[in-house]
């Protein structure tokens, strides 16, 4: 689904490409050809809903604009091309920032589901090249509804942030931690077999238990249940995460604060 932020930046990208085309509109020879190519970039931007694709199109337009500025002798054309180049460069930088924000959960700063999917695809590609293993851990905070009912939604939000903070301190830089639902999280663990992933989840449980949440004079113990699945070649994120979720439900049924392997 295209967000309001993406739509706004795509609109600005069309404006930038249009300005670049106007910079060459009064020219002759190869400048007219440049104008046609920039108009073609604008059409591609109008058809795109993906920030990464728009960044690539802007890179092409930027190269064309720089070449025009270097080749053209007409002062007015050079000035307009330079203005268009600055606008395209600024917009490209903004789009790169937006791409990062689109993969980030607003509350915790962890990855969101889109970011998890990108991390999974990256690790699957690496596993395909090197033959390395890959595992997923599905995590669900225990008794979260009771926490919200007893202490309020602000306390619930703080508990969600706490597990993200603990994960950031306990995991390897190569691991990907994502919030995929209200109190639901997932881990993508590179170069980790099933037992290694299970032990990682247990270490994260211990780290969370060691840092209870202090809230309005109350000391709230936080625990989670987890399910672990090792990726099978050819398996999609949904399939692997689905197996991890099944193991998670088994951990819940067994009494919570447990880790089960698929």
Distance CA 56, CA 43 (A): 14
List active site positions.
Answer: 183
Residue 213, strand partner residues:
220
Residue 250 φ/ψ, nearest 5 degrees: -65, -40
Question: Contact 62/89 with Cβ under 8 angstroms?
Answer: yes
Question: Bridge-partner residues for 220, per DSSP?
Answer: 213
Distances (CA, A) of 158 to 122, 154, 180, 258: 30, 6, 16, 22
SS3 16: helix
Give the residue from 201, 243, 247 showing the smallest Cα distance to 224.
Answer: 201
CB 148 within 8 A of CB 155: yes
* 190 three-state secondary structure: strand
**What distance separates the 2 farthest-apart alpha carbons in the chain?**
77
């Amino acid at each position: 689904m295209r967000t309001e932020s993406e739509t706004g930046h795509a609109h600005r990208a069309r404006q930038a490409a249009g300005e670049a085309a106007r910079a060459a509109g009064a020219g002759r020879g190869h400048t007219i050809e440049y104008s046609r190519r920039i108009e073609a970039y604008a059409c591609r931007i109008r058809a795109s809903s993906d920030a990464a694709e728009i960044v690539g199109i802007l890179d092409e337009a930027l190269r064309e604009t720089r070449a025009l500025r270097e080749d053209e002798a007409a002062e007015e054309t050079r000035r307009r091309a330079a203005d268009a180049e600055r606008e395209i460069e600024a917009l490209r930088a903004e789009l790169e920032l937006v791409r990062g924000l689109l993969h980030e959960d607003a509350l915790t700063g962890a990855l969101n589901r889109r970011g998890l999917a990108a991390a999974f695809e990256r690790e699957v590609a690496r596993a395909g090249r090197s033959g390395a293993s890959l595992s997923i851990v599905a995590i669900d905070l225990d008794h979260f509804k009771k926490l919200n009912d007893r202490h309020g939604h602000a306390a619930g939000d703080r508990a969600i942030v706490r597990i993200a903070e603990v994960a950031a301190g306990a995991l390897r830089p190569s691991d990907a931690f994502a919030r995929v639902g209200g109190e639901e999280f997932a881990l993508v663990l590179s170069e980790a077999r099933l037992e290694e992933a299970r032990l990682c989840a247990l270490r994260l449980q211990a780290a969370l238990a060691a840092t209870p949440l202090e809230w309005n004079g109350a000391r709230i113990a936080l625990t989670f249940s987890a399910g672990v699945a090792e990726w099978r070649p050819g398996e999609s994120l949904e399939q692997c995460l689905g197996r991890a979720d099944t193991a998670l439900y088994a951990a819940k049924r067994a009494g919570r604060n447990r880790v089960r392997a698929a």
